[in-house]
Amino acid sequence: MQTKGRSRHFIYTDWILIENQFDPEQLHSKETVFTIGNGYLGSRGSFEEGYPHALPATFIHGVYDDVPVVYTELVNCPDWLPLIVIVNGDRFRLDRGEILSYDRQLDLRQGLLIRSVRWRSPSGNTIDISFERFASLADPHVLALRCHLTPIDFEGLIEVQASINGYPENQGLNHWEELDQGKTNQGIWLQRRTRNSRIELGMAVKVTILGTEASLQINTAPGYPTLSTTFFAKAQQTVTVEKLVTVFTSREIEAPVPAAQEKLAHLPDYATLLKANEQAWNEVWQQSDILIEGDSTATFAVRYNLFQLLIAAPQDDDRVSIPAKTLSGFGYRGHIFWDTEIFMQPLFLFTQPAIARNLLSYRWHTLPGARRKAAHYGYRGAMFAWESADTGDEVTPRWAIGSDFYGEDVRIWCRDREIHINADIPYAVWNYWQATGDDDWMQKCGAEIILDAALFWGSRVEFNSERDRYEIPGVIGADEYHELVHNNAFTNRMAQWHLEKAIAVYDWLVDKFPEQATELEQKLKLTPEERSHWQDIVAKILFFYDPSTGLIEQFEGFFQLEDINLADYEPRDRSMQPILGIDKTNKSQVLKQPDVLMLLYLMRESADFPYNEKALQTNWDYYAPRTDITYGSSLGPAVQAILASDLGKSTVAYEQFMRALMVDLEDNRGNTNDGIHGASAGGIWQAVIFGFGGIQLTENGPVANPHLPPGWTRLKFRLHWRGKWHDFDLHQGKVAQDITRQLEFLQLSLSPDPPNSHSQASEHQTSPPASPAPSSSPLPITPYPQRGPHLPHNPNIQGFIFDLDGVLTDTAELHYLAWQKLADEEGIPFNREANEALRGVSRRASLMLILGNRAYSEAQIEEMMERKNRYYVELIQNMTSHDLLSGAIALLDELRQAGIKIGIGSASKNARPVIERLGIMNKVDAIADGYSVQEPKPAPDLFLYAAKQLGIEPAQSVVVEDAAAGVEAALAAGMWAVGLGPVERVGAAHIVLPSLEGLKWADLREQLSNISRRKQ
């Protein structure tokens, strides 16, 4: 299963992102995409050896500094990556010499970034260089890097320099003061302090050389301490350099440098650290993973987006939160928006609730800053910053400076007017309380957030005596294209909702925690009159809603604005605001992102006003066509995917889901270089769980009402709700089932005398696996007849469906080697004879055959499948067109010239990369792989799926197979079957041949016609 991203040179496997070609034009966006981290820090995917104009950055949570007058930003910390390799006097860098091969992989399962390069130096020396690095999830203050160096065709001197770069920049600005640096018995260290916030940082490094005799020298050049070594390298001999790094700041410890030195002195070796990191990641994925089958792109990309949020989530620090661009780029300068509470937090709330609490505690710690903002504007209570940093004070820049030197700067009004965040944060607090039942945190922290922010609304609303209504004038709603509006529906209803909940929390606090209630009354100056004022606002706030249709006016006067047909502006590559101009956009019915629809989404779960199916349909029909969903805001597509799914618009839902899903992997907005779109990543989780999974939260726990996208055969995930885990294993059009049925098919296909009746098949039912999915009992077996439906006497062949392994190429040996390696590691007997039984069989079913009666948990089974797949993917990297079997290309070309459609029907989840490596992707019209259907061969599903993709009938299809299970599947599908191999294996096929060599379409067509005539 691998799918290539649009001109990004990416291949996706279940867990691994592979880049197989270096493109300097995409340097900065790829640095973002290959970001790694551990919840304490994030490091962009820059090259260890450097590259011209690269943007390397390591961001540590909470390390902010001020640029006087202009802004506050998250600081780029000293760079721990530099590792320079000099080969016989030539410095290795990708802009020098010649790149003979290139492969970079991000392994999501363990947060490991790997890059392998075969490089020929300007002097003609060829060397294999591989790097791998990780930020330890087991110990957030540990970073590790390993480099393997293998000369290919020379002997000579190699020099390695491992450094700390003490001069990092935030796009031209260095926030650090030089304090000190030095050496110890373990290596080198660096001490720095931010210029204005006075945060101190300590970093220490040690290096180990393996595979040769080499001594280390220390160079303490100011700001760039370095450990270096020079050794004589022999051809084909690998030398390994391990660089271990520790880092602390004064935010978490008083003396960062001694702490870094002490930890470094007691670190185990790289391999031990890597193992601990892998174990820590296993625990996280056991709670947060989402398994999708039937959609190879979504399988990886969903995990990728989850990974980027998980590495940015503070594990043990409740004084920081996740910035809009996570810890992956300079965009928005590391500021925290409503993105975190509304879009990102649900993932953590339902899979990592301790992290969700940390994120909300950050808002509690920053209440003093929110109070200062409210006081500045003349309001009461807490007015949360639109953009927040370490203190909670407003850090949104007042002005945006354009690229035109003579152009006018643009005023950023969000800091003054986009106040709906003051209800968005309490909304997240309330949902955390409902999902966890964490009364202790609620009475200590959550209640204060909700009540203090409610005081703001009490002073911000204005009473219109003529209307007898409360109004909120002069705001920016969730749709940011309109910068000064009155009575925005989203803002007014969220304020109303907030005050409703504030009253409920206040009453709960008085009843359950009277002492805390009294303390907050005194601290916040809460009075009975204030509570009464809140009730009056709830009853009388202005909201433009037509009860007969359910249509909501986005803000007062919106319907009087000029209507814009977005289709008239297609095709385009930018948002509508720069096309129309700020002034015209303000006067038009065009939206940057969902506003009314966003409100309906937030009210959806509890079915609060104004949410109902009629209102959703009416407002979707009005507002969706007016929303700049392609280039407006990245926050919109995931929300629209959920609501479209609710409305049964499966095509639209999937379209918008994919737009959100691939925003960074495909850089479809052209700004991935600024950092990961964190809100979109969080919205993806919600789209999968609440949209496609149809999860609804009830008093008895979450329940699923799934509407999976077409092609998705399985969706599996876990949710944590009020102290308990709930496991969901959803299938297309049916309840979840275990793998028993797959094993039954497998047993039947391998049986020397396969039964044909249902009663016979029932006798062959197997015992359930050690950890079955939650199915009450094995499902009945549907027998597949040996010869399938009756085939026509005069065949009208329109398409060929080729199995891959053993038909077009021989990867059976690679599969065997991968399975053999796994079996050896697990201590399970396995040989080539046993491997023969795995022909044409799915990965899971193959593993179950190998395991036999040995008991393993589902987590262990999935890990082993992924491990085998990793070994196999490594082996296929060297495949080329030379690995095509004799006769394959000639037949494919002849069929295409005859107008015959060509499909691939392979049980392998790696079919796509194999096809790409073989160079035949342009000869194939459809691919059905291990992710396309639920049931493996000998079920006919895979071939029926391929025929549907080709747009032909089963009887118009010829399947070419080399396995008994595959032949049986073709016959069950009602297709013509050509078997390659010995008669004892594929003798059930209509035609049996030794191979494709010398095979002509004309000869084959004649044989099929003869078979038809004989049937007559």
What pLDDT digit, counting tens, does each position of 549-594 carry? 999 999 999 999 999 999 999 889 899 999 999 999 999 999 999 9
- CA 12 to CA 913: how far, in whole Å? 9
Helix (H) or strand (E) holding 247: strand 239-249
By the 8 A CB rule, do 40 and 141 touch?
yes
DSSP secondary structure code for residue 92 in this structure: P
pLDDT interval class at 755 (50, 70, 90): very low
CA distance linking residue 166 with residue 194, whole number of Å: 12
The torsion angles phi and psi of 485, rounded to 5 degrees, stand at -125, 165
| 3-state SS assignment for residue 235 | coil
**pLDDT of residue 927 exceeding 80:** yes
| C-beta separation of 577 from 585 below 8 A | yes
Binned at pLDDT 50, 70 and 90, residue 854 comes out as confident
Residue-wise pLDDT tens digits, 357-403: 999 999 999 999 999 999 999 999 999 999 999 999 999 999 887 76
One-letter amino acid of 1000: K
Active site residue 480: yes
CA distance 568 to 869: 47
Q: Is the pLDDT of residue 761 over 80?
A: no
Q: Quick one: pLDDT band at residue 745, thresholds 50, 70, 90?
A: very low
Q: Is the peptide bond before 571 cis (omega within 30 degrees of 0)?
A: yes
Q: For residues 11 and 32, what is the distance between their CA atoms, to the nearest angstrom? A: 17
Q: How confident is the model at residue 789 (pLDDT cuts 50, 70, 90)?
A: very low
pLDDT at 782: 26
What φ, ψ does residue 225 adopt, rounded to 5°? -60, 140
Query: What is the DSSP secondary-structure string of 327-350?
Result: TS-SGGGG-B-HIIIIIIHHHHHH
Q: Nearest 5°: phi and psi at 716? A: -130, 135
Looking at residue 888, its pLDDT comes to 93
| Chain segment 934-971, per-residue pLDDT in tens | 788 889 999 999 998 898 999 999 999 999 999 999 99
Q: Is 756's pLDDT higher than 70?
A: no
In angstroms, the CA 597 to CA 493 distance is 13
Helices (H), 690-836: 740-750, 758-762, 812-826, 832-836
CA 784 – CA 227 distance, rounded (Å)? 67
- How many Cα atoms sit within 13 Å of 418 on the Cβ side? 21
d(CA 343, CA 427): 12
Q: Report the sign of the C-alpha dihedral through residues 628, 475, 601, 713, in that order.
A: positive
Confidence at residue 777, expressed as pLDDT on a 0 to 100 scale: 27
Residue 734 is predicted with a pLDDT of 52
- Give the pLDDT mean for 259-286: 97
What average pLDDT score do residues 72-91 get? 97
- Contact yes or no for 113/205 (Cβ under 8 A): no
Q: DSSP state, 251? A: T
pLDDT at 753 over 50: no
Report yes or no: 685 and 319 within 8 Å, Cβ to Cβ: no
| Residues 201 and 247: beta-carbon distance below 8 Å | yes
580 contact partners, CB below 8 Å, separation of at least 6 = 564, 588, 590
Alpha helices by DSSP H, listed for 266-328, are 270-288, 296-310
Q: What are the pLDDT digits (tens) for 639-685? A: 999 999 999 999 999 999 999 999 999 999 999 999 999 999 999 99
Contact 176/78 with Cβ under 8 angstroms? yes
Q: Do the strands 71-76 and 83-87 form a parallel or antiparallel pair, or are they unpaired?
A: unpaired
Consecutive H or E run containing 505: helix 489-512
Q: Give me the amino acid identity at 879.
A: M
- Residue whose entry in the numeric block shows the structure tokens 């004064």: 250
Give pLDDT, residue 405.
Answer: 72
Closest C-alpha to 635, from 677, 664, 671, 604: 677
Residue with tokens 């016609």: 1009
Section 259-287 average pLDDT: 97
DSSP characters for 36-50? EE-SSEEE----TT-
**Helix (H/G/I), strand (E/B), else coil: 134:** strand
The residue behind tokens 């398409």 is 799
User: What's the whole-number average pLDDT of the chain?
Assistant: 90
| CA dist., res. 552 & res. 627, Å (int) | 15
Contact between 338 and 344 under an 8 Å Cβ cutoff? The reply is: no
pLDDT of 409: 83
Hey, what are 171's tokens? 């796009």
pLDDT beyond 60 at 770: no
Q: Cα dihedral sign for 964, 965, 971, 972?
A: positive
Closest CA to 679 of 321, 298, 315, 289: 321
- Name the active-site residue from 73, 132, 394, 480: 480
- Distance, first Cα to last Cα, the chain: 42
Mean pLDDT of 616-636: 96
Closest CA to 341 of 243, 227, 221, 430: 430
SS (H, E, C) 874-922: HHHCCCCHHHECCCHHHHHHHHHHCCCEEEEECCCCCHHHHHHHHCCHH
Torsion of CA 1009, 1013, 1014, 1016, to 10 degrees: 140
pLDDT value of position 791? 56
- The label of the residue with tokens 């479209």 reads 644
pLDDT tens by residue, 201-235: 999 999 999 999 999 999 999 999 999 999 999 99
Contact in structure between 362 and 384 (CB atoms under 8 Å)? no
- Say if residue 742's pLDDT is above 80: no
Using an 8 Å Cβ cutoff, are 904 and 888 in contact?
A: no
Q: Which amino acid would we find at residue 771?
A: S
Q: What's the predicted TM-score (pTM) here?
A: 0.76
Q: Say if CB 690 and CB 699 are below 8 A apart.
A: no
- CA-CA distance, 555 to 542, in Å (whole number)? 10
pLDDT value at residue 733: 66
Where are the strands (E) in 705-842, listed by range? 714-721, 724-731, 799-802
Task: Determine the angle formed by the axes of helices 843-851 and 858-876, rounding to 10 degrees.
Answer: 120
pLDDT band at 700 (very low <50, low <70, confident <90, very high): confident
Could you tell me the pLDDT band of residue 1, with boundaries at 50, 70 and 90?
Answer: very low
Could you report the per-residue pLDDT of 397-418, keeping only the tens digit for each? 998 877 677 778 889 999 999 9
Question: Is the pLDDT confidence value at 809 over 80?
Answer: yes
C-alpha radius of gyration, the chain, whole number? 31
Percent of the chain having pLDDT more than 70?
92
